[in-house]
Amino acid sequence: MKSIVKTEFDFAKQTGKYIGKVRDVYSIAGDILVMIVTDRISAFDVVLPKGIPYKGQVLNQIASKFLDATSDLVPNWKIASPDPMVTVGYKCAPFPVEMIVRGYLTGSAWRAYKSGIREICGIKIPDGMLENQRFEKPVITPTTKAELGMHDEDISRDEIISKGLIAEKDYLQLEKTATALFERGSEMAQKQGLILVDTKYEFGKRNGEIYLIDEIHTPDSSRYFYADSYEENFTNGLPQRQLSKEFVREWLMEHNFQGKQGQQIPEMTGEIVENISRRYIELYEKITGEKFRQTEYSDNVYVRIEENIKNMLARLI
């Protein structure tokens, strides 16, 4: 199965290029960003050695849908999505913190809790909670944004403000906006028979106004449970049926990899890659309620992407 893990384009008025964990971002004319969501996959802040076919298309199209569906809550960076793997939008000055909203005690928060930790990002977590238990109300646990190959670090509201990372007025607005986005995402998930468990949001500023940037409510940035089996599984202490990238992390942990120094990434066989690809397509169809239409990886796929971007930029600059 083919995948797109690297792009090498040179657009008119291009002023820079940033290679993230899974995205190649081109700066155009100092004010426009072209984000190509590749098929690279990362876990534990490490980019894995093989791409996952259709993963980029899945993430880009889910994010595009949710950016449109939440634009009444906060302005966002998107102008258009001229290709299934591409979003073109406004360049914003990003805040150096990601806003993690958690509705349930699960994932890394549960692993920390199980080890005896009772405070995450300055938020106290009561004793006696169980894995996958719902919080009384969603909690916000920010992290600093890590460079490629580095791990994100938890940070509290007080630290963010005292260190001058974000002005207090802006940070309080980010908390309010993140909460509203999580509520909207939860409502949309409920209509699909899902529970939005946790997610991350990134924000920036443009012309003095706060904007939502990057992806939103994708399986790479969010975790979903199936609503119909949640109560029964929770009551019986069983694992939740979930839609997220957690299955990739679990596979890596089963093979003794958590991104720690000296650990070896397990072999990604063709069967493993194909299985992950199928899971991402399942995620798309369940989260959006729409049939996934595969964009073929023909020999001219890069030509298609480049032409679609050039045609879009010609209308903008």
4 in a structural domain = no
Percent of the chain with pLDDT over 70: 98
pLDDT over 80 at 147, yes or no = no
Q: What is the pLDDT of residues 68-94, one digit of tens each?
A: 999 999 999 999 999 999 999 999 999
pLDDT over 90 at 242, yes or no = no
The tokens of 11 are what? 């657009």
The pLDDT value recorded for residue 149 is: 47
Same structural domain, 141 and 236: yes
The tokens of 195 are what? 């529970």
Average pLDDT over residues 42-60: 94
57 in a structural domain = yes
Same structural domain, 59 and 199: no
7 in a structural domain = no
222 in a structural domain = yes
The tokens of 262 are what? 């000296």
pLDDT over 60 at 148, yes or no = no
H helix or E strand, kind and range, residue 93: strand 93-94
Q: What is the pLDDT of residues 8-31, one digit of tens each?
A: 999 999 999 999 999 999 999 999
Could you give the CA distance from residue 58 to residue 85 in angstroms, rounded to a whole number?
8
Same structural domain, 107 and 54: no
123 in a structural domain = yes
Same structural domain, 72 and 117: no
309 — pLDDT class (breaks 50, 70, 90): very high
Q: What is the pLDDT of residues 96-128, one digit of tens each?
A: 999 999 999 998 899 999 999 999 999 999 999
Same structural domain, 171 and 302: no
Domain boundary residue among 244, 263, 288? Answer: 244
Average pLDDT over residues 155-184: 97
Counted domains in the chain: 2
Q: What is the pLDDT of residues 189-224, one digit of tens each?
A: 999 999 999 999 999 999 999 999 999 999 889 999
| pTM score, whole prediction | 0.90
Average pLDDT over residues 152-178: 95
CA dihedral 126, 130, 131, 136 (to 10 degrees): -50
Same structural domain, 220 and 185: yes
DSSP string for residues in 116-184: T--EETTEE--TT--TTPEEEEEEE--EEPPPTTS--EE--HHHHHHTTSS-HHHHHHHHHHHHHHHHH
The CATH code of the domain that includes 279 is: 3.30.200.20
What are the two backbone dihedrals, phi and then psi, of residue 27, each rounded to the nearest 5 degrees? Answer: -95, 135
The pLDDT value recorded for residue 243 is: 83
Same structural domain, 218 and 135: yes
122 in a structural domain = yes
259 in a structural domain = no
Same structural domain, 48 and 177: no
Same structural domain, 171 and 239: yes
The pLDDT value recorded for residue 299 is: 73
Does residue 263 contact residue 257 with C-beta atoms inside 8 Å? Answer: yes
268 in a structural domain = no
Same structural domain, 173 and 236: yes
Domain boundary residue among 206, 227, 244? Answer: 244
**Spatial CB neighbours of 134, under 8 Å, sequence gap ≥ 6:** 103, 104
Instruction: Look up the domain containing 288 and give its range.
Output: 14-93+273-316
Please state, rounded to an integer, the average pLDDT across all residues of the chain.
94
Bridge partners for 255 per DSSP: none
The CATH code of the domain that includes 176 is: 3.30.470.20
